Structure 1
């Protein structure tokens, strides 16, 4: 249990550092600390796993770590990453943190970013929000699309 708490604290610290580095390029924006923590977590997963994580959660963490290592391969600074790579890195770190925290609330509070084209243009913009906000927006859009398009005699739109 102590091991799980230690990892949760490490992941929170890594996400904080990554978020600060992405938000403020004037700070030390080295990927070294993130990679060190991910390598330590990877080694513990390879040894005997992390106490409290199910095999499914361990696999989710491993896949997210593969994404982290793939995005950061050959790079030493966050400034070297493209916007899409920064988004992929942030999302992977958030997935890892949500699994290590091991709660539904942790999953709902997980920040995710995505790129979407503005309507009528080819310009892409980055949108960020929590998983819960993204699910709420998706359900709202689905409800809107499922509404009747024409009104019968006594319906109110």
Structure 2
């Protein structure tokens, strides 16, 4: 579990640094416009995708276009919008690569014991793994109901 938390923290820093260095907004917009044009053509490069995948990708692109409207640099966006931009770009990438499990998701979260917010990123697969590990660690609810004397309420769980 500790290794997962450390991995989660390392990925958080690396992924958010990628957002801050996206830089060339013109290139991002051009790529997204090209992808959009291909998805709208019935025989385009992305004709293999079903309608749900295309719709998901186009919703993410709509967010990208809205966020970058009138912006010259990523740094002009506040942190929340930078995170939203990164997540939207990752969503488009995940649909194109057909690999949802490797899609990075970043969130701004309050650090325990402070009002400061920090960005934490992890892939969908890592988040699922962390959720499952937390659920396993938590275990049963701890409600004690001995059955015909076979179990002691005070015994340790295996």
Settle same-fold status: TM greater than 0.5.
yes
Q: 1:19 to 1:34 in 2, by over 3 A?
A: farther
Which structure has the highest helix share of the two?
1
Q: 1:19 to 1:156 in 2, by over 3 A?
A: closer
The number of residues matched between the two structures is 134
Give 1:69 deviation, angstroms. 0.9
Specify the alignment match of 1:90 in structure 2.
Answer: 86
**Unaligned segments of structure 2, at least 5 residues:** 1-14, 145-152
Match of 1:38 among 32, 45, 49: 32
Structure 2 Cα separation of the partners of residues 132 and 126 of structure 1: 18
Per-residue CA shift, 1:17-49, capped at 9, x if unaligned?
Answer: x98763548xxx231000011111112222325
Normalised by the size of structure 1, how large is the TM-score? 0.73
User: Whose relative contact order is higher, 1 or 2, with alpha carbons under 8 Å and at least 6 apart?
Assistant: 2
Give 1:124 deviation, angstroms. 1.3
Structure 1 Cα separation of the partners of residues 157 and 135 of structure 2: 19
Specify the alignment match of 2:154 in structure 1.
Answer: 153
Structure 2 Cα separation of the partners of residues 119 and 60 of structure 1: 33
Structure 2 Cα separation of the partners of residues 90 and 131 of structure 1: 14
Specify the alignment match of 2:6 in structure 1.
Answer: none
**Runs ≥4 in structure 1, deviation > 4 angstroms?**
18-21
Normalised by the size of structure 2, how large is the TM-score? 0.73
